[in-house]
Amino acid sequence: MNHIKKECVAMLLAGGQGSRLYALTQDMAKPAVPYGGKYRIIDFPLSNCVNSGIDTVGVLTQYQPMVLNEYIGNGQPWGLDRAHGGVHVLPPYETAAGKSWYSGTANAIYQNINFVDRYNPEYVVILSGDHIYKMDYAKMVDFHKEKNADATIAVLEVPWEEAPRFGIMTATEDGTITEFAEKPKEPKSNLASMGIYVFSWAKLRQYLIDNENDTEASKDFGKNIIPAMLDNGEKMVAYHFDGYWKDVGTIDSLWEANMDVLDPNVPLDLLDDSWKIYSRNPVMPPHYAGLNSKIENSMIAEGCEIEGDIDFSVLFAGVTVEEGAVVRSSIIMPNTVIKKGAVIEYAIVGEDCVVGEGAHIGASPETVEDKSQWGVAVIGHHVNVSDKAIAPPKAMISKDI
């Protein structure tokens, strides 16, 4: 089959487990975790691709791919059901030489060199499905071309005290990267890698092969490919990004990132028509705010039916909140039912749960004396919480209680 040449192909690493999301990633990969009332995390990089004019995207899956595969489907919700290109889910596969899982981010791309080669691209954009942000990748590719670079890495200025948590770039004034340190104890810069790379494909292809032949290597972009290119004096530049960008890899950051959509001062405008975030929409009627409901400072998706009190919360599609129930500073994922008189505070409740009458999930920080005992409570997906059951702050519930 002939393939039409594409200038740019995106490869989206979506195989991560997201182990620090615990109960929320038991049965789905991190990029499939619901976010912002109607999205899943992967909607952000996928929509960014489409809005940037990139119409060929490989999605590399490995950990718990069922939800993600079904969600992506033929790519129609993102306009990625294309005759040439479009979205392709790329799981690990067996070859004549044997079978192998993706053993690292670089190995995952290595195993799909044939996929990329079919489109004969000049550039490959490497993305991850872990972050919430809006970014025009076309501008970054233009920057890559303008600088005549071999690799371009998107960077964000982070507070110095947080720098040791990131891959840190040191760059000259014109953007040339001179040094890279993965989670340095004493950072020399506060430019953090966002995990978004543009490579000239011919160059990256060779590095992937060399890295694969190196038995010592851990087959990882941050640990192997970037340092190797830097050592060999390849032209590597930093691309500065200053918009909203949030890693949602932990319970706290996922909770915060959801609360950010309610904060008018946070520069993440989901209602902006010029850079839409697409998603697979549930087929449900609009939500119903009942005669007894009291809703403030919240985001409510379609299909919800609310008779209780909602404040500072994000409710996904098809959530029912019965009379007398209270949801405060919490995130309720799709199709969950909160029964009469239940109280949910500072919590994340997963998809398809039932929270029984009078149950109490989480607590507000003011009510907890020992602050080290306080944290967001989490109920995983498909969990039944029986009537009057209590899940304290920081609870991590993945089985019925």
List contacts with another protein (CB under 8 A): 36-38, 76-77, 261-262, 270-271, 276-279, 281, 283-302, 305, 310, 314-315
Q: In the complex with another protein, which residue's Cβ is closer, 31 or 37?
A: 37
Task: Compute the distance between CA of residue 348 and CA of residue 344 in angstroms, rounded to an integer.
Answer: 9
CB closer to another protein, 37 vs 187: 37
User: Residue 13 or 277: which CB sits closer to another protein?
Assistant: 277
Residue whose CB is less far from another protein, 76 or 206: 76
Shortest Å distance, C-beta 144 to another protein: 29
DSSP-assigned states of every residue in 150-163: SEEEEEEE--GGGG
* Both tokens assigned to 138: 């076309």
Nearer to another protein, 226 or 304 (CB): 304
**Shortest reach from residue 57's CB to another protein, in Å:** 18
Distance of alpha carbon 370 from alpha carbon 372, whole angstroms: 5
d(CA 240, CA 238): 6
Whether 316 contacts 37, CB under 8 Å:
yes
Cα-Cα-Cα-Cα dihedral sign, residues 187, 192, 195, 201: negative
Q: Smallest distance, Å, CB 33 to another protein? A: 17
Least distance from another protein to the Cβ atom of residue 234, Å:
39
Name the β-bridge partners of 170: 179
In angstroms, give the least distance from the CB of 36 to another protein: 7
How far, CA to CA in Å, does 358 sit from each of 386, 389, 399? Answer: 9, 8, 19
Residue 360 identity (one-letter amino acid) = H
Tell me the CA distances in angstroms from 99 to 91, 92, 125, 372, one per residue in order.
Answer: 12, 8, 26, 46
Task: Indicate the residue among 227 and 282 with the shorter CB distance to another protein.
Answer: 282
Question: How far apart, in Å, do the first and last CA atoms of the chain sit?
Answer: 54
Cβ-based burial of 93 (10 A; exposed 0-12, middle 13-18, buried ≥19)? exposed
**Closest CA relative to residue 319, chosen from 340, 305, 329, 308:** 305
Q: Which is nearer to another protein, 246 or 360 (CB)?
A: 246
- Residue 285: CB minimum distance to another protein, A: 4
Helix (H, G, I), strand (E, B) or coil at 211: helix
Task: Report in angstroms how near the CB of residue 257 gets to another protein at its nearest.
Answer: 14
